[in-house]
Structure 1
Amino acid sequence: MGALSMADERIRHVTMPKWGLSMTSGTITEWLVAEGDPVTPGTELAEIDTEKIAGTLESEEQGVLRGIVVPAGSAAPVGGTIAVIAPAEVPDAEIDAAVAQAREQLESGAVETAAGPVVAEAEVGGRTLSYATLGDGADVVVLVHGFGGDKNSWLFVQEPLADGRTVHALDLPGHGASSKDVGDGSLRTLAGAVTGFLDALGIERAHLVGHSLGGAVITAAAAAAPDRVRSLTLVAPAGFGPEVNAGYLRGFVEASTRRELRPHLRQLFADESQVTRQLVDDLLKFKRIDGVQEALKTLLGTLLAGDEQAIDARPLLAEVSAPTAVVWGRRDQVIPVAAPEVFGDDVAFRVVEDAGHMVHMENPAATRQAIESVLGG
Structure 2
Amino acid sequence: MASEITPITMPKFGLAMTEGKVAGWMIAPGRPVKAGDELVDIETSKITNAFESPASGILRRQVAPNGETLPVGALIGVVADASVPDAEIDEFITRFQAEFAESNASAKGEETAVEPTLVTVGTHTLRVHDLGMGDATPLVLIHGFGGDLKNWMLNHAALAHGRRVIAFDLPGHGGSSKDVGPGTLSFFADVTVQLLEHFDLPKVHVMGHSLGGGIALTLAQAAPQRVASLCLLAPAGLGPQVNMAFINGFIEADRTRALQDVLKFLVHDKSLIGRRMTDDVLRYKRLDGAQAALQTVAAACFPDGRQGDDLRPVLDAAPCPVTLLWGEEDEILPVTQADGLSASIARHVFSAIGHMPQLECASDVNGIVETFLTQHDH
TM-score calculated relative to the size of structure 2? 0.73
Checking the alignment, whether the CA contact within 8 Å between 2:256 and 2:278 is kept in structure 1 is yes
1:59 maps onto 2:72 in alignment:
no
Q: Which residue of 2 aligns with 1:209?
A: 207
Give secondary structure in 2 for the equivalent of 1:328.
strand
Q: Which residue of 2 aligns with 1:132?
A: 129
Give secondary structure in 2 for the equivalent of 1:129.
strand
Give secondary structure in 2 for the equivalent of 1:143.
strand
Aligned to 1:194, which of 192, 195, 205?
Answer: 192
Distance, in Å, in 2 between the alignment partners of 1:309 and 1:347 is: 22
**Gapped runs of 5+ residues in structure 1?**
15-31, 42-55, 64-77, 86-110
Q: Which residue of 2 aligns with 1:343?
A: 341
The superposition leaves residues 12-31 of structure 1 with CA deviations (integer Å, 9 ceiling, x where unpaired) of: 578xxxxxxxxxxxxxxxxx
**Paired residues, what number?**
305
Checking the alignment, whether the CA contact within 8 Å between 2:327 and 2:356 is kept in structure 1 is yes
1:283 maps onto 2:281 in alignment:
yes
Give secondary structure in 1 for the equivalent of 2:215.
helix
Q: Which range is displaced more, 241-250 or 298-307?
A: 298-307
**RMSD across aligned positions (CA):** 3.2
Distance, in Å, in 2 between the alignment partners of 1:356 and 1:148 is: 17
Checking the alignment, whether the CA contact within 8 Å between 1:133 and 1:169 is kept in structure 2 is yes
Letter in 2 for 1:140: P
Checking the alignment, whether the CA contact within 8 Å between 1:232 and 1:324 is kept in structure 2 is yes
Give secondary structure in 1 for the equivalent of 2:155.
helix
Give secondary structure in 1 for the equivalent of 2:189.
helix
Distance, in Å, in 2 between the alignment partners of 1:279 and 1:273 is: 11
Q: Which residue of 1 aligns with 2:300?
A: 302
Distance, in Å, in 1 between the alignment partners of 2:33 and 2:149 is: 31
Q: Residues 118, 343 of structure 1: CA spacing in aligned structure 2 closer, same or farther, 3 A cutoff?
A: farther
Aligned to 1:117, which of 102, 114, 138?
Answer: 114
The structural deviation recorded for 1:60 is 5.3
Q: Which residue of 2 aligns with 1:104?
A: none
The structural deviation recorded for 1:275 is 0.7
Aligned to 1:167, which of 150, 165, 168?
Answer: 165
Q: Which residue of 2 aligns with 1:273?
A: 271
Distance, in Å, in 1 between the alignment partners of 2:139 and 2:65 is: 20
Give secondary structure in 2 for the equivalent of 1:296.
helix
TM-score calculated relative to the size of structure 1? 0.73
Letter in 1 for 2:64: S
Q: Residues 220, 2 of structure 1: CA spacing in aligned structure 2 closer, same or farther, 3 A cutoff?
A: farther
Distance, in Å, in 1 between the alignment partners of 2:347 and 2:76 is: 36
Distance, in Å, in 2 between the alignment partners of 1:256 and 1:121 is: 27
Give secondary structure in 2 for the equivalent of 1:130.
strand
Aligned to 1:312, which of 310, 313, 318?
Answer: 310
Give secondary structure in 2 for the equivalent of 1:169.
strand
Q: Which range is displaced more, 298-307 or 196-205?
A: 298-307
Distance, in Å, in 1 between the alignment partners of 2:274 and 2:284 is: 16
Q: Residues 252, 34 of structure 1: CA spacing in aligned structure 2 closer, same or farther, 3 A cutoff?
A: farther
The superposition leaves residues 155-206 of structure 1 with CA deviations (integer Å, 9 ceiling, x where unpaired) of: 1011110111111111111111111100111111000011111111000110
Aligned to 1:356, which of 351, 354, 357?
Answer: 354
The superposition leaves residues 38-96 of structure 1 with CA deviations (integer Å, 9 ceiling, x where unpaired) of: 5699xxxxxxxxxxxxxx99425469xxxxxxxxxxxxxx96557999xxxxxxxxxxx
